[in-house]
Structures are given as structure tokens and as C-alpha cells.
């Protein structure tokens, strides 16, 4: 009997030790999950700006682009080259640029050695040209979609969309921007790489020199990294030579949501989102972007100053293991001692989209889901019958939510 009692006591002790150990592991995981690079980034590399894709107009009047998916190596400051994938290069792809009304032809050749696709994210086009999982490009093959651009001025992007492999292909480097220009659009900074600068923001996790594509134990949302790259550049700075600069930001990360703000709390104008230009500029101090989202912002600088674009803790929801408490220094803007003058941001940018005033009808479950969505904080109990912009700005809470009411996503 005593032997049995001793055995039970030993078993209880082992269980207690295991519970304490597991609890300690959970606590350690919770504390170590937070990333913070604020004030620790040296900003010692000039920002790489993706080149504009070369193109020509063929005999049928189509603007023709040629893209090649390929493998390569990149210098991410790890002490050695990192194997990467790219489009017409080692990492990321060139920026395609075409005008509204133009017909385009894009020849996409796959030299990766495995099947992929290219999808035109945000583009209005026929399904046969979309580049989804139903349109694989086999190794060594070329896919040549063609369509007429028929949508307002916007910042779009392109990336692979193979079934079950989209995240991995983008994480390794297959992504690029597609600018849709409208000659009748407003006067905004538009000199590519000077006062109109793309920012493809990604977080990466490394295993030595290699990209680490594994998930953390509690990272159910995807891969969260501790290193920020902008256009593939770690610790980047941008030399600014104009009074105002237009930044076209793409969150091309695997899972991370950013809350962009400047280190001095300055206000800047959001002029465009996923679907194109807003009806009017929206001044903000913070702006949240989720993976795949884009925003166009215009920031004003004074001669000789330096200001850091940062991402801070999220206010929209809280989940340590989803990176919501993380802080990052993203990019340093360095204004020249003399800045070329820039026109003021126009008060009117684009016509407001035509939105139906119809009730949500037909499916009670859909209406219930709308109410659940409101209760979770996306609108803070807003009245869906109200259409005046001032009302929807007010119920959005923080400034960065005001933009969402202005234009649908794409």
C-alpha cells in the first residue's frame, strides 16, 4: 500500500512539473513572440526601386510586355547570398505601366523548374486572362494573356496563384506592381522613382542565409518574420528631392498586418486604395494594411529633414502570436537640402464610385453575419442605411479606418 502511495505521489509530482514546465514554455513563447526594431535599424542601404518593365507596341496596337519567372540569389545582409525567385531578375519583378483604354499583351515564361501562374491582382479583365489556379504555366512554357485595360487609375500588383502554393511562391520573391494610368486623372506626383515611389513591404524570417518558410508553433495566420524588406532592401533609405513624394505601398507579406505611421506623428494624405484613387484626399496619421492591400499616400517634407516610416502595434485587434504588438522601423526618408517644389494635393481626385443603396436581402444568415461583423468592431455598430461620408468617417474610430468607407477593395 505504501509503495502504491509513493508511486501515486511521484506521478502527481511529475504531472505538476510537466504543467509548470509547459506553462513556462507558453509564457516564454508569449514574451519572445514580440518583435521590436524601433531605433535599431541603421538605414545603411539605398532603397532599390523596381525598374519599369520594357514594352513595345505591336502591329495590332497592343502594348507588349515580356516576363520570365526565374531563380536567383539576393543579398539581404545575411553574410552570404540567399536563394530567391524573381521575375526578370533575382527577386521581385519590374513595374508594369499602361494607360486606361490600352490593350496589353503579357508573355509570361516559366523558367522556375516547377509549375506556377501569374495573377493580375485588382485588374478588371476576362476570367480567361486572370491567371488563377485554373491556368497553370508549366516549366518551359509561355502563357500570353491579352486584354483591354478598362478601369480607373490604380495601383495593382501581380503574383503567382497556383493551388496551395501561392504563399510560398510570393514569399520566395515572385511579385511586382502594375500601374494603371489615366491621362485625365488629377495632378499628383508621377515621376517614377523620384516623387512617385513604389514600396513593396515584406517581413522575412531567415535560417542562416536561407528564407525560413516554416511556421512558428503558435503562428496560425502564416509566416511572421523579424526582418523587414522594402523592394527587397533591408534597412532602406530614400533620398527625397521634391517637396512632396507619393508612396505606393503594397503589403506583400505572408501574414503580417502593418499600421504605418511616421516617427514624428506627422499627418499625410491617403489618395488611393486597392480600387483606385479616392474621391478626395484623406489626412491620417496611421494606416493599416493587410496582406495584398495597397495604398497611395502623399507626404510633405521640409529641406534637410529625416523622418522614419514605422509600423506600430495594431489597434484593430489584439493577438500577440499574429504580430499585433510588433513594432518595426521600415524606411527612412532623407530630404535634400533643397527640394523642388511640388503642386498641392488636389481637393478632388476621382468620381465617387456608384454604390447601390439596396438592402441586404434574400439570405437571413448573410444579414446575421453583417451584424456579427459590426459587433466585432468593423464599423462599431454603424448604421448601414447611412450614406453620408462624414458619418462613415466618424464611426470608423481611428483615422486609418476612415479610408475604408471611401472605396471598395479590389
**Ranges for all domains in the chain classified under CATH 2.60.40.420:** 48-181, 196-340
What percentage of the chain reaches a pLDDT higher than 90? 72
One DSSP character per residue, 387-408 reads: --HHHHHHHT-SGGGGGGGTS-
DSSP state of 92: B
Average pLDDT over residues 210-239: 87
Please tell me the least confidently modeled range out of 120-124, 245-249, 341-345, 373-377: 373-377
Of the candidates 81, 85, 74, 37, the residue with the CA atom closest to the CA atom of residue 228: 37
CA-based radius of gyration for the chain? 24
Residue 370 has pLDDT above 80, yes or no: no
**140-144, 198-202, 380-384: segment of lowest average pLDDT:** 380-384
Topology of the domain comprising 48-181: Immunoglobulin-like (2.60.40)
Strands (E), 59-111: 63-74, 82-87, 96-99, 103-110
pLDDT band at 323 (very low <50, low <70, confident <90, very high): confident
Cβ–Cβ under 8 Å, residues 331 and 236:
yes
Question: pTM value?
Answer: 0.82
β strands within 118-163, DSSP E: 119-121, 142-143, 146-148, 154-159
According to CATH, the topology of domain 196-340 is Immunoglobulin-like (2.60.40)
Per-residue pLDDT reduced to its tens digit, 304-320: 999 999 999 998 766 55
What's the confidence (pLDDT) of residue 272?
Answer: 98
Amino acid at each position: 500500500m505504501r509503495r502504491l502511495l509513493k508511486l501515486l505521489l511521484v506521478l502527481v509530482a511529475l504531472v505538476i512539473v510537466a504543467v509548470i514546465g509547459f506553462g513556462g514554455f507558453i509564457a516564454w513563447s508569449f514574451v519572445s513572440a514580440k518583435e521590436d526594431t524601433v531605433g535599431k535599424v541603421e538605414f545603411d542601404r539605398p532603397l532599390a526601386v523596381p525598374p519599369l518593365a520594357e514594352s513595345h507596341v505591336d502591329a495590332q496596337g497592343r502594348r507588349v510586355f515580356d516576363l520570365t519567372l526565374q531563380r536567383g540569389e539576393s543579398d539581404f545582409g545575411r553574410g552570404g547570398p540567399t536563394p530567391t525567385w524573381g521575375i526578370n531578375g533575382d527577386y521581385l519583378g519590374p513595374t508594369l505601366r499602361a494607360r486606361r483604354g490600352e490593350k496589353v499583351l503579357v508573355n509570361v515564361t516559366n523558367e522556375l523548374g516547377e509549375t506556377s501562374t501569374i495573377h493580375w491582382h485588382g485588374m478588371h479583365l476576362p476570367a480567361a486572362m486572370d491567371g488563377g489556379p485554373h491556368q497553370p504555366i508549366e516549366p518551359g512554357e509561355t502563357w500570353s494573356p491579352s486584354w483591354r485595360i478598362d478601369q480607373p487609375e490604380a495601383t495593382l500588383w501581380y503574383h503567382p496563384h497556383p493551388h496551395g502554393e501561392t504563399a510560398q511562391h510570393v514569399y520566395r520573391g515572385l511579385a511586382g506592381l502594375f500601374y494603371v494610368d489615366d491621362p485625365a486623372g488629377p495632378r499628383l506626383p508621377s515621376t517614377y522613382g523620384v516623387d512617385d515611389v513604389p514600396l513593396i513591404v515584406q517581413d522575412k524570417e531567415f535560417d542562416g542565409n536561407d528564407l525560413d518558410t516554416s511556421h512558428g508553433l503558435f503562428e496560425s495566420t502564416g509566416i511572421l518574420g523579424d526582418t523587414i524588406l522594402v523592394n527587397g532592401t533591408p534597412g532602406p533609405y530614400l533620398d527625397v528631392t521634391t517637396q512632396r513624394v507619393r508612396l505606393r505601398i503594397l503589403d506583400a507579406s505572408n501574414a503580417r498586418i502593418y499600421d504605418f505611421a511616421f516617427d514624428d506623428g506627422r499627418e499625410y494624405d491617403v489618395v488611393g486604395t486597392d480600387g483606385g484613387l479616392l474621391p478626395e484626399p484623406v489626412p491620417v496619421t496611421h494606416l493599416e494594411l493587410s496582406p495584398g492591400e495597397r495604398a497611395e499616400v502623399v507626404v510633405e517634407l521640409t529641406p534637410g529633414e529625416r523622418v522614419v516610416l514605422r509600423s506600430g502595434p495594431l489597434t484593430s485587434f489584439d493577438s500577440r502570436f499574429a504580430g499585433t504588438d510588433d513594432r518595426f522601423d521600415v524606411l527612412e526618408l532623407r530630404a535634400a537640402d533643397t527640394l523642388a517644389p511640388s503642386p498641392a494635393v488636389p481637393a478632388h481626385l476621382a468620381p465617387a464610385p456608384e454604390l447601390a443603396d439596396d438592402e441586404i436581402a434574400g439570405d437571413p444568415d448573410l444579414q446575421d453575419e453583417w451584424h456579427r461583423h459590426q459587433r466585432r468592431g468593423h464599423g462599431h455598430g454603424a448604421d448601414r442605411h447611412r450614406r453620408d461620408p462624414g458619418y462613415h468617417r466618424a464611426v470608423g474610430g481611428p483615422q486609418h479606418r476612415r479610408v475604408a468607407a471611401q472605396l471598395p477593395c479590389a
